[in-house]
Amino acid sequence: MAYWIKITYERNRYVIDLDQISAFACAPNGKITFWLPNSAIPIVINRQSNYKDYQQVFNYIQKIATHSLLGSWLKIIYERNEYLIDLNRISSFCHYPSGKLVFWLPDSSIPIIVNSYNNLDVYQKILDYIQRRTGHILS
C-alpha cells in the first residue's frame, strides 16, 4: 500500500511514496534524512525550515516504528544518528572474523557497522533476521 506525500526540497517539489523508502536517519538536531529509491539522492529536512513536510515524514516514521509487526524494521543508534532501517531491503551482509557485522543502506553508500561487544541486542536481531530470512547462519 502506498503512502504518498508531497514535499518541497531545495526549491523542487517531490511526490514520494514513503513506503518505498528503505531507511530514515534522525539526527539529534532534528534533521531527518532519507534517500530516494533508485537514485541515491538524499533528502534532508528539518522542522525549522520546513515544518509541514518534516511533520509528514516524522509521523510516518512514528507509525512504522510502533506498528511494524513483521519485525523487518530495525531501530539502531549509529554515529550519533538514530536509524530506522527496513531489513527486508538489505541485499547483503558481511560478517568479519573480528565479530563486526556490516551492511549497506540501499539507495546510499552508507555502511552500517554493528559490533557484538557494544550493541549486542541489535547485533543478535540482525543475525536472527539473516537466519530466518536466508536460512544461513553468520558467525
Mean pLDDT calculated for residue range 34-46: 91
Domain ranges of the chain: 4-67
Across 36-55, average pLDDT:
91
So what's the pLDDT on residue 109?
84
Whether residue 68 is predicted with pLDDT greater than 80 in this model: the reply is: no
Whole-number pLDDT of residue 64 = 87
Give the pLDDT mean for 62-70: 74
- Contacts of residues 45-53 at CB distance under 8 Å and 24 or more positions apart, as own/partner, are 45/7, 45/9, 50/7, 50/8, 50/9, 53/5, 53/7, 53/8, 53/9
pTM over 0.85: yes
pLDDT in tens, 92-131: 999 999 889 999 998 888 899 999 888 899 999 999 999 9
To the nearest whole number, what is the mean pLDDT of the chain?
90
Q: Please report where in the chains the cell 534517500 appears, as a residue.
A: 35
Record: fold of 4-67: OB fold (Dihydrolipoamide Acetyltransferase, E2P) (2.40.50)
Q: What integer is the mean pLDDT of 15-36? A: 93
d(CA 24, CA 58): 10
Residue 108 has a pLDDT of: 86
Mean pLDDT value of segment 85-94: 93
Beta bridge partners of 39: none
What is the per-residue pLDDT for 35?
94
pLDDT beyond 80 at 137: yes
